[in-house]
Amino acid sequence: MSWLWTSADMVTVMGGRPLGNLPEGVTGISIDSRSIGSGEAFFAIKGDRTDGHDFATMAVANGAALLVVAEGKLPAMGRVTVPMIVVEDVLVALGRLAVASRQRSRAKIVAVTGSVGKTTTKEMLRNLLAPSGKVHCAVASFNNHWGVPLTLARMPADTQFGVFEIGMNHPNEIRPLVKMVRPHVAMITTIAPAHLGNFKNLEEIAAAKAEIFEGVEAGGAVILNRDNKQFGFLESRAQEVGIQNILTFGQHAKADFRLADFEGGAEGSTIWAVVNGETMEVHIGAPGRHIAENAMAALGVVALFGADLEAAKQALAGLRAVKGRGERHRLGIGEGHLTLIDESYNANPASMRAAIALLAATPPEVTGRRIAVLGDMLEMGAFAAKVHEELAGPLLAAGIEHVWLAGTEMAALRDALPDSVAVEYRPTTAELVDHVVKNVRPGDVLMVKSSLGIGFGKIISALIDNYPALPDRERHL
């Protein structure tokens, strides 16, 4: 049996008090009593909404072999039949295990932050590095004060490449996380308005992202977006921290990993990528210029790690857009079909623009229309009205003639669009769901996007429930 951790090591590292007859080791670590696997250790941390201590019984029922709980919570827990390690603070204990995991690891480690594209790039790296060795990667967007230590503590000892996502809503969040991760390469995908509510301007956002440099290993590297307006600022921050290897990706003539050309299609793109002085023609199996930009950053990591570039290139061809981030559905309607682009995972001004470009690159059938179905972008603070209004520009430039909107803030976009655009506005998502389901027509292409909290996933599921999914056509790049 190969253990992720032996109980003895866990006790030593976390400084806990064993209670009961500890198993020799655990096969995994979980903080979720619903999805925990048998033989795993359950860490009863306080999550975003709940306290794990309330779910210890369920964790045990689902196979937990060991519980890590807080001394202070012990009296209230009642009878538990599974052995425990009792610690002062469970999250701190998880952090200690994370640090020990990093210490024992010989993996090459990359940490990804940025305003958008972290998960997209992380998932790309998972696929691009896989042919070169054993990859360990964050689940979903696990990028915060519990997601990062959990991902690190879960990293098997024989991992060859570790890929971490680090996010933030506030200054000083990234610093302690990156110091646990100690990456050899730190990447900032881009700086754009996201979580603006907590910041005065883009430079403040850039400064908070730049905290990622502070955890880079001696002799390590950073990869920055050469096309981003904050590049100069980030470069000087990296220099101040003493990082010597500052590499860049993007279209810029001076970019180290250069996107020399881009040919976009509805189902993927072809790019000419200059990496290590050589130009390669690369097919990417998911559409969008923003995906191609992320791919350049990912190829940069592959090159820096000395991993197999040719295999990474092949992996890009096999890439597919993921649920909520550009996934496409072909749904039967009447005699024809409609194309649904699911961008419902989240939205901010940068990803809205990227998604509008996706819509523009997808031709409707003769009878159909291009329809942007858009909901509020949250966390924009004092900039809310402005950033919503400003979507009129990219919509008009892309020639989108049908715009269906919901949400309080989207009223600003409604008012900013000229009469040449057919606008439908509903105050709530529920009202818009109804409109969308009743008014789609054969041949239409819909792109559906809003912040997660606005719940545009309901529009996606209502369409899928009402119109049967059709198999993919043969793919043409």
Site for ligand ATP in 135-164 (CB under 6 A): 141, 143
Tokens standing for residue 74: 């012990």
Length of the chain as a residue count: 477
Give the burial class of 29: count Cβ atoms within 10 A of its Cβ; 0-12 exposed, 13-18 middle, 19 or more buried: buried
Number of residues that bind ligand ATP (CB under 6 A): 23
Measured from the CB atom, the residue of 62 and 119 that comes closer to ligand ATP is 119
By CB under 5 A, tell whether 230 contacts Mg ion.
no
Out of Mg ion, ligand ATP, none, what residue 450 binds, judged by CB under 5 to 8 A for its kind, is none
Q: Residue 29 and residue 159: Cα distance in Å, rounded?
A: 16
Tokens standing for residue 173: 């969040």
Which of 167, 364, 375, 407 lies at the binding interface for ligand ATP (CB under 6 A)?
A: 167
Out of Mg ion, ligand ATP, none, what residue 354 binds, judged by CB under 5 to 8 A for its kind, is ligand ATP
Site for ligand ATP in 311-350 (CB under 6 A): 325-326, 343, 345-346, 350
Stretch of 31-39, 112-120, 197-205, 304-312 contacting Mg ion, by CB under 5 A = 112-120
Measured from the CB atom, the residue of 267 and 343 that comes closer to ligand ATP is 343
Q: How many helices (H) and strands (E) does the chain have?
A: 16, 22
Query: Using an 8 Å Cβ cutoff, are 187 and 222 in contact?
Result: yes
Closest approach of Mg ion to the CB of residue 173, in Å: 14
Stretch of 115-123, 171-179, 205-213, 421-429 contacting ligand ATP, by CB under 6 A = 115-123
Residue identified by tokens 């594209």 is 117
Q: Residue 226 and residue 216: Cα distance in Å, rounded?
A: 20
Closest approach of Mg ion to the CB of residue 454, in Å: 17
Q: Residue 111 and residue 122: Cα distance in Å, rounded?
A: 9
Out of Mg ion, ligand ATP, none, what residue 451 binds, judged by CB under 5 to 8 A for its kind, is none
Q: Residue 273 and residue 276: Cα distance in Å, rounded?
A: 10
Tokens standing for residue 471: 């198999």
Site for Mg ion in 134-163 (CB under 5 A): 141
Closest approach of ligand ATP to the CB of residue 291, in Å: 7
Q: What residue type is assigned to position 158 of the chain?
A: D
Measured from the CB atom, the residue of 421 and 452 that comes closer to ligand ATP is 452
Which of 62, 101, 119, 144 lies at the binding interface for ligand ATP (CB under 6 A)?
A: 119
By CB under 6 A, tell whether 290 contacts ligand ATP.
yes
Out of ligand ATP, Mg ion, none, what residue 269 binds, judged by CB under 5 to 8 A for its kind, is none
Closest approach of ligand ATP to the CB of residue 150, in Å: 15
Q: Which residue is nearest to ligand ATP (CB)?
A: 117
Residue 229 per-residue DSSP state: T
Measured from the CB atom, the residue of 61 and 139 that comes closer to Mg ion is 139
Closest approach of Mg ion to the CB of residue 59, in Å: 26
Q: Which residues contact 366 (CB under 8 A, 6 or more apart)?
A: 443
**Dihedral, CA atoms, 168, 171, 175, 177, nearest 10 degrees?**
-30
CB atoms within 10 A of CB 245: 15
> For strand 108-113 and strand 135-137, is the pairing parallel, antiparallel, or unpaired?
unpaired
CB atoms within 10 A of CB 324: 18
Q: Which residues contact 16 (CB under 8 A, 6 or more apart)?
A: 10, 68, 85, 86, 87, 93
By CB under 6 A, tell whether 226 contacts ligand ATP.
no
Instruction: Return the biggest CA–CA distance within the chain.
Output: 73
The vertex-91 CA angle with 181 and 17, nearest 5°, equals: 115
Closest approach of Mg ion to the CB of residue 364, in Å: 30
Closest approach of Mg ion to the CB of residue 118, in Å: 5
Which of 117, 147, 264, 300 lies at the binding interface for ligand ATP (CB under 6 A)?
A: 117
Closest approach of Mg ion to the CB of residue 105, in Å: 23
CA distances from 89 to 11, 147, 347 (A): 14, 16, 35
Closest approach of Mg ion to the CB of residue 138, in Å: 9
Residue 226 per-residue DSSP state: T
Q: Residue 194 and residue 422: Cα distance in Å, rounded?
A: 28
Tokens standing for residue 108: 């090459």
Which of 119, 127, 144, 294 lies at the binding interface for Mg ion (CB under 5 A)?
A: 119
Which of 96, 108, 118, 449 lies at the binding interface for Mg ion (CB under 5 A)?
A: 118
Closest approach of ligand ATP to the CB of residue 35, in Å: 19
Binding letters toward Mg ion, positions 269-298, x by CB under 5 A: ------------------------------
Measured from the CB atom, the residue of 30 and 346 that comes closer to ligand ATP is 346
CA distances from 60 to 24, 50, 66, 77, 167 (A): 17, 17, 8, 13, 31
Tokens standing for residue 315: 């992996």
Query: Using an 8 Å Cβ cutoff, are 361 and 290 in contact?
Result: no
Out of Mg ion, ligand ATP, none, what residue 346 binds, judged by CB under 5 to 8 A for its kind, is ligand ATP
Q: Which chain residues interact with ligand ATP by CB under 6 A?
A: 114, 116-120, 141, 143, 167, 189-190, 290, 293-294, 325-326, 343, 345-346, 350-351, 354-355
